A and B are shown apart, each in its own frame.
Chain A
Amino acid sequence: MISRRLFTGLIGSVAMMPGLAFGADMPAPFDNPGAVKIALVRYLSTGDFFQAYLSGVEKQAAAIGVDLRVLDSRQDAALQSDMVDQAIALGVDGIIIQHGLTESMKDAAQRAVDAGIKVVAFDVNVDNAAIPQVEQSDRDLARLALEQALKDNGTSFTAGYVYVPGIAPLDRRDETWQKVKADNPGINQVAEFGTLDNPIANSVANQARSALSANPDITVMFAPYDEFAKGVKIAVDEAEMSGKVSIYSADVSTSDIAAMREDGSAWKATAATNPAVVGEVSVRTLAMLLAGEDPGHNVIVPPTLITQQMLNDLDITNMEDLSAKVPAFAHADVSVPGWMPLPQR
C-alpha cells in the first residue's frame, strides 16, 4: 500500500494538482482547488514508519487538493524551528509539525499561530491550546498487546521486558506495562534490558540471549517496539525456546509480518497504528481547522491488534495485504466531517 500509493500520491500532489472534480462540495477555503498551501515540518524522516507517514500526508493532501510543502530537518531541533519560520515566510495557510522537541518547537509553533496560521502537531507536545495534538495512542498500543498476552497466558506468568527509558513513546508504553503489572500480581518480571545501539535488533538479540540464559523460565516477553521484538525473536530462536516463549510487541512492518508468520514463531501479537493513516488524520485535522471547524484538542488515532493467527487466517504477507484485509488498519474514522474527501483505495 504504502509506496505504490506514495508514488501516485507524489504525482497527484506535484504534477496534476489540484486534480479532480472536488471543490464545489467543500467549504471555504477548499472550494478553490489549489488555493490552500500547507507545510509538513518534520523532525524524524528516515525509516519505514516515517516514509509511510509521509505517504499518508501526501495522499490526503492530494485528495483535498491542497498544495503541500515538505520541510525535513533530519533530527536537527534548531533547524526544525527555523523551518517553521520558513514556512511562515512562504505564506502557508497551515502547518503540520511532525515530531520534535517541546523546548525547541513551543515558541516556533506560537509564532505560527500568531501569524494566523493553523497548526497541528503530531507526536510532539507544543503546549499550546490553539494547536490540536494528533497522537497515536501509545497507551492503547501497549494495552491491546498486553490484553492479548493476558488472554493467551493467563494472569500469572514470568516475564521479560525490553525498555529504554527517556524515549517518549516508550515511556508512555511503559506506563501501561507498570499498570498491568500492578493489576496482575501474578506477573513476575525477572529481566529488563534494552538498547538503541544500531542495528537495534542485533544488539537487543545479544542482550536477550543473556537474559534468557539467566532466566530460562521466562514465558512472556513484552517488547513494545518492533525492533526490540525482532531482536528478542532472534534470541528466542537461537536459544531454541520458541515453543516456550511468547513475544508481544507494538508497531508493524512487512518484515515484521514475515517474522510473525514463520513456522512456530514466538511473536504472537503486535498492536499497531498505521502510520499512513496517522498521516491522513494529521492532514484532515488541519483541514478542519482551516475550514473553521473544531477537531478537538486531542486527536487520537486508535491502534489495531494484529495477531499471528489473524495474519495466518487471512494469509497476509505485507502491509498492502494488511490494509486491504483488515479495514480497521486501513482507515481511522477520526477527523472525518461529511465534506471531507478521503484518499482513494
Chain B
Amino acid sequence: MNDPAIRLAGLRKAFGRNQVLRGIDLTIPAGRVTVLMGANGAGKSTLVKILCGVHGADAGTVTLDGRPFAPASPSAALRAGVVTVHQNINDGVVPDLDVASNLLLDTLADGSGTFLNRRRMRERAREIAAAVGLEIDVTRQVADLSLADRQLVAIARAMAHDPRLMILDEPTSSLSAVEAERLFDLIESLRDRGVAILYISHRMSDIRRLADRIVSMRDGQIAGVFEEAPLDYSGSVRAMLGHEMTEADITIPAPGRTVLEVSDLVLRPGAAPFSLVARENEVIAITGLVGSGKSDLAGALFGLAPPLSGQMVLDGRPHRPTDARAAIAAGVYMCPKDRLITAVVADFDITRNITIPFLPRHSRASFLSRGSERRTAERMIGEMGVICQTPMDGILTLSGGNQQKVMVARWMAEASRLLILDEPFQGVDIQARRDIGHKIRATAGTRATIVFVAELDEALEIADRILVMSEHSIVGEHRNENIDVSAIMAEVVEAAPARAAGLQHG
C-alpha cells in the first residue's frame, strides 16, 4: 500500500520576479496522511494550486501512479483523481443550492443534457453521502448547514470521484473540536482505503492526531521530511520557521515611559486572559503561528474589533477605540498586513499613498497643498530609502519591498504614541527587510512599537523583547539577549493545549 501515488521532481514556479517554488522534490504515498507545513509565503498554496490544476509549473514533473500528470484545469485534475478541499469552505460548496445539487455539482458542470431529473439526483446524492458515512437530508439548503457539515459535503462531493490524492487545505480552521473529530475519522477511513492524503495545517493538535509523515516547506523549498516514528514535531516546526541566526546585533536600549498597558485581555471565548506593557524606546515583537491571535490583538489595539474583556490603557487614559479613526486620533497607528488588500491605494502615486492618513496636516481649509505633500513624500522616500524615479511614480510600478517601505513611511511620517506593524516583512526582499527593520528601530525612541511577525528570524532581527502568542493568549516572553530559540519554539508549538471540547468559533 506504500506505492507513491504522486511524485514531484524539480518543480519550479515563479510569478514575475518572485520565485515561489524553487525546485520541489517530494513523494506523497498512497494510504498515508502527509502533513505539509510552511509559513505564509513558503509556497504551500502555489504547490497545491499546481497539483489541482489552477497553475501550470514552470519546470519539473509530476507523476500520478507512474503516469505524467499536468492538469490543464481544475476539472482535468479532478478527472485524473486529484481532489481538493479548500480552506475557505464556501469555495467547496454552493450555499444557495441543496445538498444533492452540491454533491453532484461536478457532474452537472461536466455532464451532458440540460434538464435535471430531481428524483434521480437525490438517489445518487444519497449514495455518495452514504459512501463517506455522511448522514444528512440531501434536500436541505447548504446555506442552512453548520460549517462542519458543509465541509463534510465538500469532502463527500470530492469522494464521489474515487480520488487517488485528496488535498485538504487547513480544513479545521473553522471547526469546533467535536466537528474536527468527525472530520479526522473520515480522513482516516479514506486513508485506510488507500487514498493519498495531503493535509495542510498549522495546528499542532491536528498534526499530532493525524500525521503519518510531516513535510516542512520554507522559501519555496522542502526544508525537511519527517517520517520516522515517533515524529519529530518540534524539528518540523523548526524546519518550517527556520532561523539562520542572522547577525541580529540588537543592543537593547533602556526603555522609557510606559505607553500602553494591557491587562486581563480576552480576545476569544475560552482564551486565557493576558497582560502586556509597551514602553517608549522599545520594540516588541509578537510571534506565533498563523491563527494564534496576533491579528486579533492588533485589531483590538487599532479599534477594528473590541476585545471581549480586559483593559487597555494608553498614556494613563483608557484606550477603547471604536474604529481606526479613533485609534489614529489617540496616536495609535497600524501598518496592516497583506498590503495589497489593506493598504496600497493602487490608483495613487507614492506621494498620495504616503499622505492619506494625515491629509489635514497638508491642507488649509480643506484645500490640499501639493508642496506640503511633496515635501513630506520626499523626506520619507529619503529616510526609508524607497527606490523610485519620482514621488509621482504610481505605487504599483514599485517592487514589493519598495511598496512596503511606502506603507511603513505612511505611518512614520507623523509622530505616534504606539506604532503597530502587522507582518511588515511580508513579500519583501532581504535588503528592504533590513532597511525597514533599521528604520523601525532608529525611530523608536519617542513611541512604543509592536511588530507582529510569524517568522522567528524576523522577530530576532528587530525586537528588544519577544512575546509568543498561542491560542489567542500570550504564552511566553523573552528578552532578545542570548535568547534560547528552542524555548521559544517550544512555546510556539507545545503550549497549545487541546482546544476546549465543543468550543465553537468562526
Q: Do chains A and B touch in the complex (CB under 8 A)?
A: no
Point out residues on A near B: beta carbons under 8 Å. none
Interface, chain B (partner A; CB < 8 A): none
